Amino acid sequence: MKHEHIKHLYWRAGFGITPKQLMEHSNKSRAEVVDTLFRTSESINSLKIDLSEFKNLDVMTLKSKPKLLKELAVKSRKRILDLNTAWIDKLVSSEEVLRERMTLFWSNHFVCGDKSVVHLQQYNNTLRRHALGNFRDFVKAISKEAAMIKYLNLKQNKKAEPNENFARELMELFTLGAGNYTEKDIKESARAFTGYFNRFDGSFRLRKFQHDYGLKTFFGETGNFDGDDIIDIILKKRQCAKFICKKIYRYFVNETISELHVEGMTDVFYKDYNIKKLMHFVFTQDWFYEDRNIGAKIKSPVDFLVGLSRTVPVNYKNKKRLIKLQKLLGQTLLDPPNVAGWKGHKAWVDANTIMVRLKLASILLNDGMIALDDERDHMRRQFFNKNKGQLPMKTSPNWDRFQKNFKSAASEDLSSILINGKINKGTMSYIASMDKDSKQTFCVQLMSLPEYQMC
């Protein structure tokens, strides 16, 4: 398999690749490389932080102790920040790169926010558990998640007064897309989801006295449907499979849709809604590796931060700075802008965020100094060493790990490893003029190029 294609696969299905991994795969066929990618992502290792302080509590106890309830709410908000940085760490260090990539993808499909760190962690692990599983089971599990029940007002969906919020988003954002259902379909399906509730520990409970057991007519079918029945009926429509395939194509292949390729994907997915089979199909197709798809997508802020840290491991002296970085770049994990999630691609960059991105490698990996390789470098280094306390980020990059992982790569080959896709002539000339004696300095310079923003 060509090096260029291996890099493309690992940037789209993961978060980059090291020279060692590149060499291990270089003599394998495409089928072997893709099979390895899936095999290493079979395990499901949950995201977990210590939440022992939230255990052995119940609603009645908290209602009788309003002060304790307020204290726990404050603690929960703080622990969500810990969950955020733990997720980033997992994205950086996990060997199950495809499962983590898929978890990240689904988090911006089944968009959800919550103030309870317990329910948010449970929700995140539900995404991870189903990320490569059966989409039918996935949607049903999502509808019963405590965080989603609260986020889309299912708790307020009662027989006497149905709340249509979840029913509407289920079809518009999660399964069919706008324009593929009627207002009557929304009203009837909302009735089927009445009574959905969650216990304090996050487990699902159906409040039977709030559930509408009457006949509903939905997409031409009539019966005493519950929420699972509604999902089954939705998935009978080929449009559901096509809607998901289009979204996967935009995320993993190209923002510009190829109807022919999407139809091929839909044929595979509609048979049994097996996500793993669909992704395997995508990653083994010739069109996935076409030149127009390589380096054609703008990295999300999380892709950028995770990819950088997978190349040069970075320890943040103050983890809150990592949260601030995400906010500055426009994507804070576990805190989506709205139920539709982040728009992505061109929306990731503007005049402000692109300047931050271009300076970030120097800030995180080079003590805030822009690596220029000129005669003033020594003087600038002395100045920055004296003023480290004033730097915007205090980090500790692990250059020893970088040198070990990139030992087999010559300095002049770094650009072809770190940058995915074509490099324009102007940038090529600039790269050729760079001093490559220091692999470390050259790495920072490459990560500061506009082309590094693409994958």
Output phi, psi for 10, to 5 deg: -75, -20
- To 5 degrees, how large is the angle CA 105–CA 108–CA 113? 135
| pTM of this structure | 0.94
Those residues whose C-beta lies under 8 Å from the C-beta of residue 4, and which sit 6 or more positions away, are 294
Query: What pLDDT score was predicted for residue 246?
Result: 98
Those residues whose C-beta lies under 8 Å from the C-beta of residue 34, and which sit 6 or more positions away, are 9, 280, 283, 284
Rounded-to-integer distance, Cα 378 and Cα 367, Å:
13
Rounded-to-integer distance, Cα 126 and Cα 124, Å:
5
**Beta strands, E only, 104-198:** 196-198
Q: Given a cut of 80, is residue 380 above it in pLDDT?
A: no
Rounded-to-integer distance, Cα 7 and Cα 5, Å:
5
Digit-coded pLDDT (tens) for 107-161: 999 999 999 999 999 999 999 999 999 999 999 999 999 999 999 999 999 999 9
Digit-coded pLDDT (tens) for 189-245: 999 999 999 999 999 999 999 999 999 999 999 999 999 999 999 999 999 999 999
Rounded-to-integer distance, Cα 282 and Cα 123, Å:
27
Output phi, psi for 354, to 5 deg: -70, -35
Q: How confident is the model at residue 304 (pLDDT cuts 50, 70, 90)?
A: very high
